[in-house]
Chain A
Amino acid sequence: MRLGHDRDQQLFAASVRALLGRECMPEHARAGFSPKRWEALAGIGVPGLLVPGQYGGLGLGAGELAAVAEEAGRACAPEPVIEAAVAAALLTHAADGKDTGRAADWLRALADGGATAAVALCPAAPVAHAVHADFVLVARDDALYGMPAAAARIVPVGGVDPGRALGRIDTVVRAPGAALLLATGQGAALAEAARLGAIAAAADLLGSARAMLDLTVQYAGRREQFGRSIGTYQAVKHKLADVLTAIEFARPTVLRAAHSYDHALPSAARDAAMAKVFASDAADLAARACLQVHGAIGYTEECDLSLWLRRVWALSSAWGDAAHHRAAVADDLLGPDPAPACPPR
């Protein structure tokens, strides 16, 4: 029995943290996706984390991804780290060990940082990082299609977090240039990829929540009212203590989910759902508490807190919100929800 990031996961996370500490200060994060930063991240293997070695990636798993995503959240990095990982998992399925073909090409392009991906697993929902994606993967009826961005007719749509560069993919999947990557009946592979996204988003949310908490602790120590720093008031302290508690108890659930994913354990689906429940709840609590403790300054775009608030508001419901995943755990634990059917008319 051992529960904790491995030494190499820690080492990897530390190198990502150092890089983002230099290249992704809040003023950089504000400016959105940066090809230069993506290249730097590719230099240490981030986009190719889950790409098998045969295609030039690191061939690592969800454990490493979680460690890295947490750092991306901490730095509020507006790069498509989660999307690259999910795309890698899907394309690895599609390539099926072959060295040629679309999937193999995209895997190589992901790993060397030459291309970014967007992933549209739920129909109709806006797609994160679509605006600057080089190719997109689109799920329809249990099948997976891939197409270069140019073929996908991506329409930018606004969103609460500009860093997510949302777009609507406005195309039919059989458009010219689109390729069928996984034929119908691959629902399991799609569900597994969605799980990976949920785990990575959960890890990102932990890093984001911790960053907000740190900012807020500092602020509460500086800001004085009634002749003393607001951080000495218990109403403030206890809110932040609750945030720390929520984060610290969410983290091991994320580690476990990553472990279950990597080893394809029977509990993998439930473990991923549970991690997202705890991480979304912790991050939502952090956003709420940290905004409150900042007062009016926190309600401004200018305050750096806003970067993470926006990230968390979006990411806590992306890849399934807490309610969605909680219901999944409940179904698993208690049997399907016998929600009353519509009364007969």
Chain B
Amino acid sequence: MDRLLYLTLCQIMLARVTDLAFTVAEEDFRCEIREWLAAHVPREPLPSMDTAEGFRAHQEWERELYDAGWAVVGWPARYGGRDASLFEWLIFEEEYWRSGAPGRVGQNGIFLFAPTLFEYGTEEQKNRILPPMARGEQIWVQGWSEPGAGSDLAALRSRAVRDERRGGWVLSGQKTWSSRGAFGHRLFGLFRTDPAAGRHRGLTYLMADLAADGVSVRPIRQLDGEPGFAEVFLDDVFVPDADVLGEPGQGWNVAMSTTGSERGLSLRSPGRFLAAADRLVALYGQVRAGTTPGRRTPDTYRDAVADAWMRAEAYRLYVFQTVTRLQEGGVVVGAESSLNKVFWSELDADLHTTAQRLLGPHAETGGPWLDGYLFALAGPIYAGTNEIQRNVIAERLLGMEREPKGGRR
């Protein structure tokens, strides 16, 4: 009885089945981007984007991408994109990183700020801000962290005071660790507009020009020796009402939509790690063949190489599953993005550690693997540290009781 019912159900239901092949249109898209990249990716790596010269070179590269229609594939065409689906975007990313193309100097604007703009921005804001962002002309800088507000972002103290006469807000305070801050153009960040309201309440999401009166920027050298981030001091900086994103006082909610993208899909797509994993497999082969100087016993790391490759692959499959769910159920990716963040950042750190081990005594002499290693080590810190992510996983996904907050002041 049960079984008959089941069989009938099977027959009448045209179930959407697992299908791990891309469509012909998607494969064409892949070929198109692959060919374009093969013809255009600079043969010599660009200088570091965290130098004045490299920053400019990376901006020019963004412009080249834009002119060919590749800068922001997932955006609507009217802002410079090509309305690509999420799967096409993933394909773009796979090909992009596989080709060895330069890092994206505009990434914090394109991948973190833009999704928030699409959700909360007015038409005027989108028309004004998105096209120059896509062209690589305006590089955006994230201004969230402050000296006293890291993991505990809601402790931030930079203020925005209402200026009725001029129709805007006056900013004062200090932001820090702002990536690309040394050479970037505009900042998006959170400011306290109502000090009397609760920690998460009186915050407003604002934009500011880094060349405006009252702004001073002090570059900070990172572990690789380059000024990859900066402190931003704000001393009575005027910002017009047009540069408020969302409603005043709603900044926390507006900002949380960006954290979702930061930890989740957009900031670190699988393509980047798949490419690194393939390079790691190649490195193992080269070290073993003696064509790249490395440790004499690379076979000690066979399992580690296989693990790195498998984890990159697992991340890819996990993201395919997420995108499938997004497309079918219209669900939003919420706290699950914390699983992503922990997984990709630890995979990246382990992958690059393995590369260093394969290089053995030659690892310290530097090169792309050392750069990659240093960069990977920041992964568990930025975009919300992995300890914070584990709290989120436990409390929001597993439903465990929150830990008592606060304490001595």
Interface residues of A (CB under 8 A from B): 1-9, 11-12, 15, 43-45, 58, 63, 213, 217, 220-221, 228-229, 231-234, 237-238, 240-242, 244-245, 248-253, 255-256, 258-260, 274, 277-278, 323, 326-327, 329-330, 333-335, 337-339
Which residue of B20, B307, B324, B339 is within 8 Å of A256 (Cβ)? B20
Q: Provided the pairs A237-B390, A330-B306 are in contact, do residues A232 and B402 lie with their beta carbons within 8 angstroms?
A: yes
Cβ of B395 < 8 Å from any Cβ of A? Answer: yes
Most buried by B among A245, A250, A335: A245
- Residues of chain B within 8 A (CB-CB) of A12 are 6
Chain B's nearest CB lies how many Å from the CB of A153?
35
Q: Is the CB of B401 within 8 A of A231?
A: yes
Q: Which residues of A contact B403 (CB under 8 A)?
A: 232-234, 237
A339-B23 Cα distance, complex, nearest whole Å: 42
Partner of A229, one of B302, B314, B325, B401: B401
Say if the beta carbon of B3 comes within 8 Å of chain A: yes
Residues in A neighbouring B13, C-beta threshold 8 A: 7-8, 11
Q: List 8 A-B contacts (CB under 8 A).
A: A4-B321, A45-B7, A234-B403, A237-B400, A245-B343, A333-B281, A334-B281, A339-B299
Asked if B9 lies at the interface with its beta carbon under 8 angstroms from chain A, I say yes
Alpha-carbon distance A327/B302, docked complex (angstroms): 8
- B317 and A3 contact, CB distance less than 8 A: yes
Give me the 4 closest cross-chain CB pairs, A-B, nearest first.
A237-B394, A252-B317, A241-B393, A330-B306
A244 touches B393 (CB 8 A): yes
Given contacts A12-B6, A244-B393, 9 further A-B contacts (CB under 8 A): A4-B325, A15-B2, A45-B7, A232-B401, A232-B403, A250-B314, A255-B18, A330-B302, A339-B299
B residues near A45, Cβ cutoff 8 Å: 3, 6-7
> Are A237 and B20 in contact, with the CB atoms below 8 A?
no
CB distance from A43 to the nearest CB of B (A): 5
A-chain residues with CB within 8 Å of residue B400 when the two chains form the complex: 217, 220-221, 231-232, 237, 240
> A213 to B299, alpha carbons, bound, how many Å?
36
**Which residues on B are within 8 Å of A, measured CB to CB?**
1-3, 6-7, 9-10, 13, 15-23, 26, 87, 281, 284-285, 299, 302-303, 305-307, 309-311, 313-315, 317-318, 320-321, 323-325, 328, 336, 339, 342-343, 387, 389-391, 393-395, 397-404
Contact B320 A252 (CB under 8 A): yes
Contact of A245 among B26, B324, B342, B401 (CB under 8 A): B342
Is there an interface contact between A1 and B19, defined as CB atoms closer than 8 Å? yes
Nearest to A58 among chain B residues (CB) is B7
A15 touches B398 (CB 8 A): no
Contact B387 A6 (CB under 8 A): no
Cα distance A217–B400 in the bound complex, in angstroms: 7
- Chain A residue nearest to B10 in the complex (CB): A8
Are B306 and A333 closer than 8 Å at their CB atoms? yes
Q: Are B16 and A6 in contact (CB under 8 A)?
A: yes
Determine the distance from Cα of A301 to Cα of B15 in the docked complex, in whole angstroms.
43
Question: Which of chain A's residues have a CB closer than 8 A to the CB of B23?
Answer: 1
- Say whether, besides A7-B16, A8-B15, A326 and B6 are in contact (CB < 8 Å): no
Task: Name B284's contact: one of A241, A327, A334 (CB within 8 Å).
Answer: A334
Between A213, A237, A323, the greatest number of chain B beta carbons within 10 A of the residue's beta carbon is seen for A237
**B88: shortest Cβ distance to chain A, in Å?**
10
Which residues of chain B come closer than 8 Å to A232, judged between CB atoms? 400-404
Of the listed residues B1, B18, B324, B387, the one surrounded by the most CB atoms of chain A closer than 10 A to its CB is B18
* Alpha-carbon distance A274/B277, docked complex (angstroms): 15
Most B CB within 10 A of own CB, among A229, A278, A334? A334
Q: Which residues of B contact A242 (CB under 8 A)?
A: 390
CB nearest neighbor in A for B85:
A1
Candidates B87, B314, B391; contact of A253 at CB < 8 Å: B314
Known contacts A2-B18, A249-B318, A259-B18; is-contact A337 B299 (Cβ 8 Å): yes
Task: Give the contacting residue for A329; candidates B9, B310, B391, B395; CB below 8 A.
Answer: B310
What separation, in Å, do the CA atoms of A256 and B311 have in the docked complex? 14
Contacts of A8 in B (CB 8 A): 9-10, 13, 15
- Chain A residue at smallest Cβ distance from B18: A259
Q: How far, in Å, is B14 (CB) from chain A's closest CB?
A: 9
Inter-subunit contact B3/A249 (CB<8 Å): no
Interface centre among B317, B336, B387 (most CB of A within 10 A): B317
A338–B284 Cα distance when bound, in Å, is 13
Query: A335 CB to closest chain B CB, in angstroms?
Result: 8
Selected contact of B18 from candidates A63, A251, A339, CB within 8 Å: A63
Task: Determine if A249 and B15 form an interchain contact, defined as CB atoms under 8 angstroms apart.
Answer: no
Contact between A241 and B16, CB atoms less than 8 A apart: no
Residues of B within 8 A of A335 (CB): 285
Residue of A nearest to B87 (CB): A1
Given the known inter-chain contacts A234-B391, A277-B310, please indicate yes or no for A249 contacting B343, CB distance below 8 A: yes
Q: How far is the CA of A333 from the CA of B399 in the complex (A)?
A: 40
* Chain B residues in 8 Å Cβ range of A237: 390-391, 394-395, 398, 400, 403
Q: Which residues of A contact B21 (CB under 8 A)?
A: 1
Closest-by-CB residue of A relative to B328 is A4
Tell me which of B299, B325, B390 has the highest count of chain A C-beta atoms within 10 A of its own C-beta.
B390
Chain B min CB distance to A337 (Å): 6
Take A4-B324, A237-B394, A334-B302 as given contacts and tell me if A249 and B17 are in contact as well, using a CB distance cutoff of 8 Å: no
Partner of A1, one of B2, B20, B391, B395: B20
Distance in Å: Cβ of A24 to nearest Cβ of chain B:
17
Q: Give A255 to B18 CA distance when docked, in angstroms.
A: 8
Contacts of A43 in B (CB 8 A): 1-3
Query: Which residues on B sit within 8 Å (CB–CB) of A240?
Result: 394, 398, 400
